[in-house]
Chains A and B, each alone.
Chain A
Amino acid sequence: MADYRQQEPAIRAAGAQLAAISVDSPEKSQAVRGELHLHFPILCDTLRRVAREWGVYNAREKGGVAKPAVFILDPGPVVRYASVDEVASRIPASEVVRVLSAHGHTPAPERRRLVPHPGNFFRAVRNSIHFGMREPESPSK
């Protein structure tokens, strides 16, 4: 979590928000926010409902916890990126920043590459008419 705290400015600079989620109670989560100086919200899945519904539930540890996982969600919420680990570590926050930045700087397709220029269109029509009216060439001798 400290890794994500350090990378939060870069995540915001890439145009995204940050939130964490665990099975801790609100009281415990607030204590964690204070201890780690976190500025983003921590959501409290005390009934383990979200962990189960999201396929990140680890029933074998501590009576049931979430696996370390990171999702990048676009409005919807539609998943853009998903990473789930079985051990305590998760992908570095710098990797999340890289994914966000790569997405943000993807150039939009240029219209002129998708729509034929009118001049080219009329030239093509004119050429097709021209070649269509040509006399067939006599076979070479």
Chain B
Amino acid sequence: SSAYPVRATPPQPGETAPDFELPDSTGAPRRLSELCSTNPLVLVFYRG
């Protein structure tokens, strides 16, 4: 986990954000670009 690059500042409006694929809580893979392919997506980061 520590080998991934750390970005100093979050992506800003107008920038293309890094795409990713992660499992959801059921274990199903979810790709970000597919989640917002037709409608805007509100992505909420929380601490856990």
Contact = CB atoms under 8 A, between A and B. Distances in A.
A22 B48 contact: yes
B10 A65 contact: no
Contacts of A49: 1, 4, 20
DSSP class of B's interface residues: helix, strand, loop or mixed? loop
Contacts, number: 188
B37 to A, nearest CB: 6
A74 B25 contact: no
Interface of A: 1, 4, 11, 15-24, 26-30, 32-33, 41-45, 47-58, 61-62, 64-82, 84, 88, 90, 96, 100, 103
Interface residues of B, number: 41
Interface in B1-48: 1, 4-20, 22-27, 30, 32-33, 35-48
A50 B12 CA distance: 16
B30 A41 contact: yes
Contact of B25 (A4, A15, A41, A103): A41
A88 B46 CA distance: 8
Contact of B5 (A41, A53, A71, A84): A53
Contacts of A57: 6
- Most A CB atoms within 10 A — which of B1, B14, B38? B1
